[in-house]
Every structure is written in structure tokens, then in C-alpha cells.
Amino acid sequence: MEKNTFEWTCTGNRGRSEPSRLISLDRLEHYKLLDLINVISSGTQVDDIKSGRARTVEYMDDIINRAVNRNKELGIYTPVELDSLKIVQKNNSINQLNYFFQKATKVFSAEEYGHRQEMLKYFNITGELKSEQEQTIARPETIALFVMEPQHLIKVNEIYSGHSYKPEVIRDLNVSNTFGLGRDAYKAIFERLMYKVPGAVDSALIQLHI
């Protein structure tokens, strides 16, 4: 039989939910509850990201615009590419946008990894990060599910629709996505997680009478 599970969920199961898992492990260890409660993390759009279904024009434009805003700092696009991008964005062609999107996400993903490793050390968060991203799925053993944004609540409700079970506790931590926004923004998210995650664990334990 699976242990009761606390699950932390964001979009891609990388920047927010996985650090939250490690922070919550420390909290549960403090209460000596790790024999009773398992802790996992997941992402509501991991499968869509891997398959490319998440690459809508709006989503790609958002990431590309973040790259353009930081281009002087990071040098993601050449001057020629920036000129071409203006035309491509007017046309709203997913195939043409994909080139610029891929260049931005490659740089931002590497940057996020570096910032995450730095912040784990800075905030003295122990434990091993998992190597693979996992899709959020309906799990009968999940008794508390913590999401980062309202959009994740919508996805979670869709995922559990049609099932006879649902987590007793579902809570939105209101921690926004800083992918591509740089070190200061990512540090601010970690500060928020360090405050929000222990409080969410405590509140769930009270609600679940554990």
C-alpha cells in the first residue's frame, strides 16, 4: 500500500515544485513524519511541453519577449535575428516562432538550472533534486496537493475529473513563474517558497488531523 503523499505541482516540474519538495521534506523530518508521509513533485504540463503541445503562439511570444528584453545582457539573438523576429511575430507563425523560442528556452533553462543550484546552497536546502520531470496524474494516495498558480488548479481539476478520489487538501501557494526573468526574480521566488512551503505543510497537517 502506498504511503499518504504530499504533492507539489507547478508547470514543468522544475523551478518551483521540485525545490518545494525538498523544503517540505525538511519540515516533515522536523516533525518526524517521513515514515507516514511521502513527498513528490510534478508538473501539470510536462507531457504537453515534451510533445510540443504547449507551444502556442501566446506562450512562445511570452518567452521570446522575455528574451528580447534581456538580449543586451544575454546576447540570445543577433541584430539580424531581431529584425527578422519583428516580421515573424506579426505573422504569428508557430513554425517560424519556434526557432526563436528554442534559442530562448535553451538559454533560460541553463540559467534556471544554475540559479536553482545556487539558491539551494544559499538557503541551505538539503537533499537531491530528481533528474526527470514528471507529469501530474491522478493519484489515490495524494492527500494534499499544493499548486503554484490558479492555472494549475484548473489543470488539477481536469486531471482528477472522472475519478472517485481527490486530494483532501488542495492549496494554491501563489508563487509565479520566473522562467527567463533572471537571478533576482528567481531568488525572490525562493524566498517566497521558504516562507510559504513550511506554512502550507503545517496547515495541511492540521486540516488532515495528522
pLDDT (tens digit per residue) in 94-120? 889 999 999 999 999 999 999 999 999
The three cell numbers of residue 77 are: 539573438
pLDDT at 82: 97
Please tell me the distance from the alpha carbon of residue 149 to that of residue 100, in angstroms, as a whole number: 26
pLDDT at 76: 98
Complete domains list, the chain, with CATH: 4-50+131-207 (3.40.50.2300), 55-115 (no CATH)
pLDDT at 91: 87
pLDDT band at 52 (very low <50, low <70, confident <90, very high): confident
pLDDT (tens digit per residue) in 17-27? 999 999 999 99
The DSSP result for 68-120, as a single string, is HHTHHHH--S-HHHHHHHHHHHHHT-HHHHHHHHHHHHHHHHHHHHHHHHHHH
Percentage of the chain lying above the pLDDT 70 cut:
99
pLDDT at 54: 84
pLDDT (tens digit per residue) in 116-130? 999 999 999 999 899
Mean pLDDT for 12-38 is 97
